[in-house]
Amino acid sequence: MTMEARVFPVVLLTCVGLAQVPLSAQSAAEHDVTSLAKTSQNPVSDLTTLPLQFNFNTGGDLVDATLLHVVFQPVFAFKVTDRWNTIVRTIVPLDSVPIPDGRVSGAGDIQEQLFVTPSTPGSVIWGAGPVFSLPTATADAVKTGTWAAGFGAVALKMHGPWVVGALVNQYWPMTDTGGEPKTDLFVVQPAVNYNFGPGWAVSFSPSITANWDAVPGNEWTVPLGAGVSKTTVFNGRPMTLGLTYYYNVTKPQGSAGESVRFSLTFLYPRPQGSGSP
């Protein structure tokens, strides 16, 4: 049994199980889904989220083949002092990569991101802190062998139906046992969200990346596209469903030309009257 076959059901069952946890102090019917949608669009809010993304990458140099990139990305908020919170985001990827004689499947490198942010945000919401990339990949096609560390920062502003901001991370290689290229990765993710109805939103939030250790001419991946999402309450559990399409206007050799993402995010808002995340 492949690593993907073992790990993916565990991740899915964990999400489904946690989705059944009841709201402790606030009826789901009391939630303003539009306000909740805007809060979920803030990477450093005090909202605990359990996102599950299914990315189908095809076209380009993959032609008719499809690379499946599944991401489980739990986000938790912790109160450090009366003035500061820490946001912990763990990115766990699972990949199924097409190869000439079949597919290679397994886990990718896990990333850990920590953001310190004011517990009482001002007009501009911000957070900053260390980021790490761990060489946990089990599939040869995605192995890097790189222990990397760096710095991340996020800033955004909410105005009416708009949530606009950007997230920037830089990972520098510390040690490497996997040969070239190393994980010397720059990521910038601009975000423009427009909330236009009860829980509905359209968004532009491409993840633009550059691996500085790649072969010249193959450093950048620049996707363009947009998505739509709906925040709702099902069986007492707030959640967001999303569909996104991106076309890679710039990409490394051998990579996909376009991607479609289906996402499901379970939301755990802080109960009203609670003094801490």
Topology at the third CATH level for domain 3-268: Porin (2.40.160)
**CA distances, 224 to each of 92, 144, 238 (Å):** 24, 26, 29
Q: Whose CA is closest to 108, among 179, 7, 186, 204?
A: 7
CA distance 215 to 201: 38
Centre a 10 Å sphere on the Cβ of residue 153 and count the other Cβ atoms it contains.
Answer: 16
Q: Is 229 exposed, middle or buried (0-12, 13-18, 19+ CB in 10 A)?
A: buried
Q: What are φ and ψ of residue 136, in 5° steps? A: -100, 0
**pLDDT at residue 139 in the model:** 85
Strands, E assignment, 12-145: 48-58, 66-72, 75-79, 84-99, 102-107, 110-118, 125-134
CA distance 103 to 6: 16
Q: pLDDT (tens digit, 0 to 9) for every residue of the chain, 277 residues total?
A: 444 444 455 455 555 554 554 444 344 434 689 999 999 999 999 999 999 999 999 999 999 999 999 999 999 999 999 999 999 999 999 999 998 888 999 999 999 999 999 999 899 999 999 999 999 999 888 889 999 999 999 999 999 999 999 999 999 999 988 777 788 999 999 999 999 989 999 999 999 999 998 889 999 999 999 999 999 998 888 999 999 999 999 999 999 999 999 999 999 987 655 554 5
**pLDDT at residue 235 in the model:** 86
Q: Whose CA is closest to 189, among 167, 221, 211, 156?
A: 167
Cis status, amide bond into 238, omega within 30 of 0: no
